Amino acid sequence: MQIIIPALVALVVVALTHLFTRHRDLEKERRQQRIDYLVTAFRALTKAVNHPRLYEVADELSQAIANIQLFGTPEQVRLAQKFATELGTNKTACMDDLLMQLRDNLRSELGADAVSGRVLWLHIEKNIDEQERKPSPPARG
């Protein structure tokens, strides 16, 4: 009896430790997968901002909206649906609120400090003069 009781206690402790570790690892994996999908969605949405030919990124944009509806918070899902509905109805829509929600949530999940203010978009276009310039023919000598 003196050997059996401590052995059973040790066995129970090992089993519980294993269960808790497995549960923690599973939650960590789920969290990482969610973060990965939402980061990909954020990148696809930002790629679509100011894109001159939205149809070229339509598949990425559609997948981003689907991923947000699957992995996002209830507020992100609402904003994604609002964006998709407006885009489908009006052929234009603002995604700033959705992107700010994603940004803030992802920064929190990743342990980064919160930032305030709207998302700033950098849009660079080719200079028309540069587009029209043709390379000069090679000199003959």
pLDDT tens profile 8-34: 889 999 999 999 999 999 999 999 999
Can you give the residue ranges of every domain in the chain?
4-132
Rounded to whole angstroms, the Cα distance separating 64 from 49 reads 13
This model's pTM is above 0.85:
no
pLDDT score for 5: 87
**Residue 114 · residue 104 · CB < 8 Å:** yes
| pLDDT of 136 over the 70 cut | no
pLDDT tens profile 55-84: 899 999 999 999 999 999 999 999 999 999
pLDDT tens profile 35-59: 999 999 999 999 998 888 888 999 9
Rounded to whole angstroms, the Cα distance separating 53 from 101 reads 25
Rounded to whole angstroms, the Cα distance separating 39 from 36 reads 5
